[in-house]
A and B are shown apart, each in its own frame.
Chain A
Amino acid sequence: DAKTTQPPSMDCAEGRAANLPCNHSTISGNEYVYWYRQIHSQGPQYIIHGLKNNETNEMASLIITEDRKSSTLILPHATLRDTAVYYCIVRVFNDRDDKIIFGKGTRLHILP
Chain B
Amino acid sequence: DTGVSQDPRHKITKRGQNVTFRCDPISEHNRLYWYRQTLGQGPEFLTYFQNEAQLEKSRLLSDRFSAERPKGSFSTLEIQRTEQGDSAMYLCASSSSSGRAADTQYFGPGTRLTVL
B45 within 8 A of A: yes
- Tally of contact residues, B, Cβ under 8 A: 32
How many inter-chain contacts with C-beta < 8 Å in the A-B complex? 75
Q: Is the CB of A45 within 8 A of B55?
A: no
If the complex has contacts A43-B110, A44-B91, are A93 and B102 also in contact, measured as CB distance less than 8 A? yes
If the complex has contacts A43-B2, A98-B48, are A93 and B108 also in contact, measured as CB distance less than 8 A? no
> Complex: how many Å from CA A105 to CA B43?
11
B41 within 8 A of A: yes
B65 within 8 A of A: no
Size category of the A interface is 20 to 34
Choose among A30, A42, A44, A92 the residue with the greatest number of B CB atoms under 10 Å from its CB: A44
Chain A residues with a Cβ under 8 A of chain B: 2, 30, 32, 34, 36, 41-46, 49, 51, 85, 87, 91-93, 95-105
The 21 sampled A-B contact pairs (Cβ below 8 Å) are A2-B42, A32-B101, A36-B107, A42-B109, A43-B91, A43-B107, A44-B91, A45-B2, A45-B107, A93-B102, A95-B97, A96-B55, A96-B56, A98-B55, A98-B95, A98-B103, A99-B58, A100-B35, A100-B43, A102-B44, A105-B42
